[in-house]
Amino acid sequence: MARAKNIAETVPKLARIWRRFWPYTRKQLHIVVGSVFAVTIQVFMRLLEPWPLKFIFDGVIFQNLNMRGFPLAGAFVQSIVGSMTPLTLLTVSVVALVVIVGIRAITWYYANVGFAIIGTRVTTEIQNDLYQHVQRLPLSFHTKARGGDLIVRIIADISMIREVVVTAALPLFASIFALVAMFVVMFWLNSTLAFVSLIVLPLFWLSTRRIMPDITETSRRQRTKQSAIASTASESIGAIQVVQALSLEDRFLDDFRSENKANLGIEVRGARLAARLERSLDVFIALGMSLVLYFGTQFVLSGALTPGDLLVFVAYLRTAYRPFQDFAKYTSRLAKAAAAGERVIDVMDRTPDIRDRPDAVPAPLLRGEVRFEHVTFAYEPGHPVLSDVSIHVTPGQLVVLVGPSGIGKSTVASLLLRLYDPQAGQVTFDGQDIRRFKIESLRQQLSVVLQDTLLFHATARENIAFGAPNADPKEIEACARLANAHEFIMALPLGYDTVFGERGVTLSRGQRQRIAIARAAIRKAPILILDEPTTGLDEENERAIFEALGRLALGRTTFLITHDLRQAVRANLIIYLDGGRVDEAGTHAELLRKDGRYAALWRLQEAGITEPREELADAPAS
Ligand code: ADP
């Protein structure tokens, strides 16, 4: 029962892969048609290949060639061959053999190249689409997915599909084609013998059916395991600084080793299963061949077949059994490719939950008025992070968000960027629900400086210009000056042309933040989001950064998330978030007068307690 279920499950899976990938293949239809044509000729040549041997055996050696009984062109062939001397027939036969094999080789070459082109083009296109798709999937997907696993899907799974399409699918397709053609000819030659040769087919089927589900399952587990290995490696290498600082190398190595060991077991099991299938098929083939020889020889002795016919028959049988051998040989690779295909489709079928509405319009140049209107938002259903939050910010205002750690301040920033949509209420810019705008045009009007800044492996100039790809060098320099970054950039070996090392290891955090400010400045966006931009920086850097941020914020609606209340003093609006709600809102003076939580917190900070996160959490209730 379980096996039948496995097979029943496999077919829809393959159908799903086919449905998803066929549109890509259809675009290469002309090459598909050309390659199939080449395969057809190649199969036809394979059909012809044993015939010269028959003519040599029956016509030259036994001098007893009789083609009259053959349907189709039998009499015609007989009349031509009958007029030749044995030596001529021998010469024609051997020349024909070379010509046939020559044509077969040439058509096979074209079919190979054709399939390689199709496989490579199709998989490259799928790869591009997959990468684009993954980039657009929402953060809710990415926070749960493992980066290494996605990379394996984009790189290794696609390569696996490519390799199999090119190296296994073509031979299998050609062999199945040949199988059908050859059985037709075999039935035509001698139907009894053809039936005899079919006796072993149920054995093929039974053994394949028994082992296949195991092979498929092993291949699937293998792909998953390889992903886990890649994820462990990419996570530890991506955070190598932390790994080394906390001496976690051995822990990660242990994880890596044990995952690798488990994978090894699965690999061996996969190889064992494939070998078992292959070898048992070898035995069945020998059995089929023996039966044909046994009965065939008797047919020859009784005169029902000529020795040449038996030769053709046996030669066909070898080829006709080939798909089964191929299938066994390629089965684990095909299963791996199917598993890989499924993993690719699983990602491709995920639809971004944040996407442009059908009626979305490009956002106009915004003035920067922002409203949260009764916004309720939860990452996980039933656990709202923000409940019924309303905020009104007029253009150019500085809003400071404060509140205990983990209370939802960054979530407010994510909602502004439309990384998530609220479950209730709406966020509006200039009075319009932001869901009315095309996402890209919306995000272009927001600049962001986060707690830590990722630099790309590119020059200083390019790293700044990522904020606005069309910026000219003068603008880039002006923004770098605004960000207090010009001087240190000029001190780099190649100035603005210096390429930053990966993950920005060549710059200090303070310097990276300045690059981020320059990057934000160059966008000239009306709304600015600063999420703890100076956390963990020394006093001097902090001052320089805040000075730069002050310049950047001029004339822009600015949301600043901070736990440093000194930054709140000049704010037009301070929002104290707690319990998913706006607990207090007002200017510094107003909130001090109110003498609530903010005021209590301010007094604590004034008293010189410099690590305010904990105090924020413990701030007394008003
Ligand atoms: P803050 O910025 O105030 O420190 P956040 O907005 O980052 O707080 O987080 C608010 C709450 O939402 C926290 O409990 C956090 O664990 C949770 N959270 C943040 N991001 C996600 C996410 N992507 N998926 C699920 N929960 C999240």
Residue 612 in this model has a pLDDT that exceeds 50: no
Q: Where are the alpha helices (DSSP H) in 523-618?
A: 539-553, 588-594, 597-606, 612-618
pLDDT in tens, 107-136: 999 999 998 898 899 999 999 999 999 888
- As a whole number, mean pLDDT of residues 167-187 equals 82
Tell which atom from ligand 1 comes closest to the C-alpha of 407. Answer: 3
Cα gap 592→600, rounded to integer Å: 8
DSSP result, 58-75: IIIIS-----TTSTTTHH
551: exposed, middle or buried (C-beta count within 10 Å: 0-12, 13-18, 19+)? middle
Report the pLDDT value the prediction gives residue 70, as an integer from 0 to 100. 65
Tell which atom from ligand 1 comes closest to the C-alpha of 140. Answer: 23
Nearest CA to 582 among 380, 388, 406, 397? 388
Report the pLDDT value the prediction gives residue 69, as an integer from 0 to 100. 57
Cα of 409 vs centre of ligand 1, distance in Å, is: 8
145: exposed, middle or buried (C-beta count within 10 Å: 0-12, 13-18, 19+)? middle
Cα of 542 vs centre of ligand 1, distance in Å, is: 25
Cα of 558 vs centre of ligand 1, distance in Å, is: 21
Report the pLDDT value the prediction gives residue 362, as an integer from 0 to 100. 94
Report the pLDDT value the prediction gives residue 71, as an integer from 0 to 100. 63
Q: Which residue has the higher pLDDT, 263 or 617?
A: 263
Report the pLDDT value the prediction gives residue 293, as an integer from 0 to 100. 93
74 lines ligand 1 (CB under 6 A): no
CA dihedral 501, 504, 507, 511 (to 10 degrees): 140
Minimum CA distance residue for ligand 1 atom 14: 406
pLDDT in tens, 316-342: 888 888 777 777 777 777 888 888 888
Cα of 406 vs centre of ligand 1, distance in Å, is: 6
Minimum CA distance residue for ligand 1 atom 19: 411
Band (pLDDT 50/70/90 cuts) for residue 11 is low
Cα of 290 vs centre of ligand 1, distance in Å, is: 71
408 lines ligand 1 (CB under 6 A): yes
Nearest CA to 110 among 30, 38, 29? 38
229 lines ligand 1 (CB under 6 A): no
384 lines ligand 1 (CB under 6 A): no
Spacing of C-alpha 477 from chain mean position: 38
60 lines ligand 1 (CB under 6 A): no
Cα gap 142→149, rounded to integer Å: 11
Tell which atom from ligand 1 comes closest to the C-alpha of 405. Answer: 4
Tell which atom from ligand 1 comes closest to the C-alpha of 408. Answer: 6
Cα gap 603→595, rounded to integer Å: 10
Cα gap 541→548, rounded to integer Å: 10
- Going from the C-alpha of 298 to that of each of 27, 56, 64, 369, 517, the distances in angstroms are 53, 21, 18, 96, 91
- As a whole number, mean pLDDT of residues 31-40 equals 91
- Going from the C-alpha of 30 to that of each of 25, 36, 124, 176, 302, the distances in angstroms are 10, 10, 18, 22, 51
Cα gap 254→251, rounded to integer Å: 5
From 375, 385, 407, mutation site for ligand 1 pocket: most ligand atoms within 8 A of C-beta = 385
Cβ–Cβ under 8 Å, residues 438 and 361 = yes
- As a whole number, mean pLDDT of residues 187-200 equals 87
Report the pLDDT value the prediction gives residue 370, as an integer from 0 to 100. 95
Q: What angle do CA 459, 461, 467 make, to 5 degrees?
A: 110
pLDDT in tens, 395-413: 999 999 998 888 999 999 9
Domains of the chain: 17-348 (1.20.1560.10), 454-524 (3.40.50.300)
Average pLDDT along the chain: 85
pLDDT in tens, 545-590: 888 888 888 889 999 998 888 888 889 999 999 888 988 889 999 9
Report the pLDDT value the prediction gives residue 67, as an integer from 0 to 100. 67
379 lines ligand 1 (CB under 6 A): yes
- As a whole number, mean pLDDT of residues 534-551 equals 82
pLDDT in tens, 434-466: 999 999 899 989 998 888 888 888 888 988 988
Residue 313 in this model has a pLDDT that exceeds 90: no
Minimum CA distance residue for ligand 1 atom 7: 410
Report the pLDDT value the prediction gives residue 363, as an integer from 0 to 100. 92
- Going from the C-alpha of 296 to that of each of 60, 65, 191, 323, 506, the distances in angstroms are 21, 18, 11, 23, 79
Per DSSP, the chain holds a count of helices (H) and strands (E) of 25, 10
Report the pLDDT value the prediction gives residue 2, as an integer from 0 to 100. 42
Tell which atom from ligand 1 comes closest to the C-alpha of 404. Answer: 3
Cα of 408 vs centre of ligand 1, distance in Å, is: 6
